[in-house]
Chains A and B, each alone.
Chain A
Amino acid sequence: MSKIRSSKFIAVLVAIVFLAIGLFAGRAIFKPADLPPALPPTFFQQADGGTGNWTQKGVFSGTIHEVKNGQVIQDAVRKAVPGDLIRVWPGTYNETVYIDKDNITIQGVIVKGEWPVLDGKKVLNDGFLYSGNGMVIENFVIKDYKGNGIMGQAGNNFIIRNNRVHDAGVYGIFPEYGTNGLVERNVLSGIEDAAIYMGMCDNIDVRYNYVYESVAGIEIENCRHALVEYNYCFNNTGGILAFITPGLPIKTCYDVIIRNNYVFENNHPNFGAEGSIVASLPSGTGIIVMAADEVVIENNIIAGNKNLGIAITDFSFGANMRSDPDSDPNPDRLVILDNLMYDNGLDPSTEEIRTLMSTGVIKRAPDIAVVGNGSGSCILNKGAYQTYGLDNWGQCQIASTASVKTYMLSEPVPPRDVTLEEKGKMTYYGVCSGCHSYSVRMVGPPTQVIQALYKGNPQGIADYIANPARKREDYPEMPPQNYLSEETRLAVAEYMLTVDK
């Protein structure tokens, strides 16, 4: 099956190979580097100087809720308010925990090696689902879910730390649409898509994770300012991916540093779901850059990946990829600094490559191969590797990204600064104006009439709208607006008294 899926990519690769043979007949494969110098890339020096120090401070400032074996974590989430800490003791919890609140920490308590286990029993969809900012999830074993182990939809300033996620479905850890986050010291295996999948995020670090026996180890997709460092990616179908996937609402992926990772023997058979993008990943590929820009690959140990060490490609890579006029398919301004590449391409996964090898054209598949266009890229010491398609790559003018310690920000992303007056105005027009206009009778009495009744008494309005009673024979009774917080009710009351048109 995987042979069929990968055949398109390989077909293109083969075409490039033949082209290379035609153009460079007679030239040695290992010709020493003779490259034009490339301009020094500047993007990673433009980091905002973030320190990520906020992750050390801890965000817990409220009440502790203890959850013991036999209890339900979601019950604690219901009670929790922003700033609270939920401590989950060892035991087995069969539930989907969803958190639509800000600044909640859910922390497993590990006692003598016993962990709290979230077990989906292959019946439940997801382990954790969150949408709030300031989410911390740590110290859980999460297994046997159908969807994701941990999934975030929006939610800035997230920390997902020290979890063990096994056979948790499609993605193991999947924060989406978040800014400023950390995924570290997690162990993941048996995931049928990406074990760690950073989707449409900004300013993220993924570090010290151990991912194995999954289809994709770590995937950075349509993200900006991502640092992928000190991870151990072993025996996945593909180790580390930096992708622009077309057709998503956020179209770019750039400024990604893949540094100091161990990308080792990612030769697992592909067990991705039919139709998924990773289902076309050729087994045995260490690092794959698809369409992403400004990706630095530095100081990784990339070894024993049977197909390719590093594959760089446009959208032709995925058999299932659809064109997107708003996404640039070409990987541009890539930087490959020194990496240890050893024993890659020893047993490429397709017949075509085998044929090339058997005819003696190549001894094995290349360490680094580029398919498609792209410009402004550079490599250090190209001659150290067997490469294809890097002819227009320059010699890098930098040797290290050491100046970048983290891509997280120094402080949490603050909530949007909205004054109470503005909140009152948003509520007045967004909610009240459906029934009240300034001077004309609508469903309810005009605002002018209310102003006359409640002059100088916003609290009176705030109290009334929380618990209205029928006041006028000629108007229907107002429904309670108690879904607005007390603060919002007072803010809108105050605003209502100031409306003048």
Chain B
Amino acid sequence: MVAIAAAIAMGCGHEGPSPTPSIIPDGRTEAVQEGFHLAEACPPGFELTDEGVCRLRNLYQQYGSLKDKGVGGLKTGLPPVRDGFAPQQIDLGRLLFFDPVLSKDSSLSCASCHRPDKGFTDGKARSEGVLGLPVGRSAPSLWNVAFQERFFWDARAATLEEQMQGPLFAADEMGNTPEQLLATLNGNAEYVRLFSEAFPDGAKGIALPQVLHAISAFETSLISLNSRYDQYAHGHHAALTQNEQDGLNVFRSFVARCAECHTPPLFTNRELAVIGTPDPDGMPFDQGAQKPTGDTDQRGAFKIPSLRNIAKTAPYMHSGRFATLREAAKFYTEGRGHAVPKGEKLKLHWHIWEPELSDRDLDLLVEFLHTLTDESLMPRIPKSLPSGSSPYTGWEDGIDKFK
């Protein structure tokens, strides 16, 4: 079946005919229907309000947080969420997200590098774009991106809309241009109809802000807040084994200090940090946030990623240097600045120190990190796409997971 789907995908240029959607496995519940119909219901996790928009509801809304920053302990509220999109916009974003028609040559969709079966990353140290070559950094997970306020590893974008124009239009990523993208979408009667349905007040024809808005709507619907850890946090202590509770205690202890930056409940405090992880052999030193800010203090600074669903998103760090969680955790106990290249002067974060974690501590940490997995609100993969392309383009080996 994988081979069949791959063959379909290969034969499916942006001008090509629509393949038979029914042979692409979906396995979920989307009804087979003629033409496309945008959902009128909100995705799981969201309430459809009387105003016709989707608002996130979750158990963390029982709690407050200091200064509304969404950092603290177990029963702490989350940071402000970006929600309030219409269900139709979210659903349209879903189609766009999986549609390779967004790339220059219809070879890659957003989902090619942000695969649902790999925690919305791609399992690669560095993602590969339309040129088939690795790009500079690893694809970050999209789970809970609705709570983020800065995007890219170097935090150079302030909104998802700004962020996604990076990969869409970078020559070595999806390689498209705004003109070609809009021409393609406006040349597709189905998309024109769907956009007018999702944006009833919009002018005639599909405009770029609508495309960005719809994809943002979909991406902010990717919510993961019901892991076994969360059940523990809300008070059901039997949800974690004793080892996992011990791992939580290592995680939040002031020896390992993980929770100081990967702070609950989001498991990031949304700041940047210079921790001095090594770049892959042969790659130049990645200056991180120094590039967009020009600030030498930010040399080697990267966004602190959320650890939710972290067990799904190997390899780890900005360039995927560490293959396993164990290796990533071990980095922190191998000496402050041990991997900083000679001659580099970095302002390493003060929590990078010499915690002397034991092998058992590291094992417990990894066990605990696995309790942060929750994919219960996984979106449905579209059965077919308005472009006729396969929603699995570029990640055909993921089809099996969604049978």
Contacts and interface: CB of A to CB of B under 8 A. Distances in A.
Interface of A: 78, 96, 98, 100-102, 125-126, 129, 131-133, 146-148, 151-155, 169-171, 174, 176-179, 200-202, 247-250, 273-277, 320-323, 325, 415-416, 418, 422-423, 425-431, 433-435, 437-443, 482-485, 501
A78 B238 CA distance: 10
A171 B351 CA distance: 13
A483 B255 contact: no
Given A322-B347, A483-B234, A431 B59 contact: yes
A442 B29 contact: yes
Contacts of A133: 75
A440 B29 contact: yes
A422 B245 CA distance: 29
Given A155-B73, A170-B255, 4 more contacts: A147-B255, A177-B66, A248-B269, A250-B71
A152 B225 CA distance: 23
Nearest to A423: B62
Nearest to A98: B249
> Which 5 pairs between the two chains have the least Cβ-Cβ distance?
A154-B73, A154-B72, A131-B73, A429-B57, A483-B236
Nearest to A432: B44
DSSP class of B's interface residues: helix, strand, loop or mixed?
loop
Contacts of A321: 347
Given A247-B349, A277-B350, A416-B63, A425 B76 contact: no
Given A429-B57, A483-B234, A249 B255 contact: no
Given A146-B255, A153-B259, A441-B29, A249 B269 contact: yes
Nearest to A416: B64
Interface of B: 29, 31, 41, 44-48, 56-59, 61-67, 69, 71-77, 225-226, 231-239, 245, 249-250, 252-256, 259, 263-264, 269-274, 293, 295, 297-298, 301, 336, 347-350, 352-354, 356, 376-377
Given A126-B253, A147-B255, A429-B58, A250 B75 contact: no
Contacts of A96: 249, 253
B58 A430 contact: yes
Nearest to A441: B29
B61 A426 contact: yes
A439 B41 contact: yes
B238 A483 contact: yes
B67 to A, nearest CB: 5
A434 B376 contact: yes
A430 B347 CA distance: 40
Contacts of B64: 416
B271 A247 contact: yes
A133 B237 CA distance: 17
Contact of A434 (B45, B232, B356): B45
DSSP class of A's interface residues: helix, strand, loop or mixed?
loop
A445 B295 CA distance: 55
Contacts of A439: 41
B347 A320 contact: yes
17 contacts: A78-B237, A126-B255, A131-B72, A131-B75, A154-B74, A170-B254, A248-B269, A273-B353, A276-B353, A322-B349, A418-B62, A427-B59, A430-B57, A434-B45, A435-B376, A437-B41, A483-B238
A429 B297 contact: no
A322 B297 contact: yes
A323 B297 contact: yes
B145 to A, nearest CB: 18
B295 A323 contact: yes
Contact of A169 (B57, B71, B254): B254
Contacts of A154: 65-66, 72-76
B22 to A, nearest CB: 18
B254 A151 contact: yes
Contacts of B31: 440
A125 B234 contact: no
Contacts of B352: 275
Contact of B354 (A78, A273, A433, A485): A273
Nearest to A429: B57
B238 to A, nearest CB: 7
Nearest to A100: B74
A438 B254 CA distance: 46
Contact of B235 (A438, A441, A485): A485
Contacts of A501: 41, 48
Contact of A426 (B59, B264, B353, B377): B59
B253 A125 contact: yes
A200 to B, nearest CB: 6
Contacts of B231: 483
Nearest to A500: B48
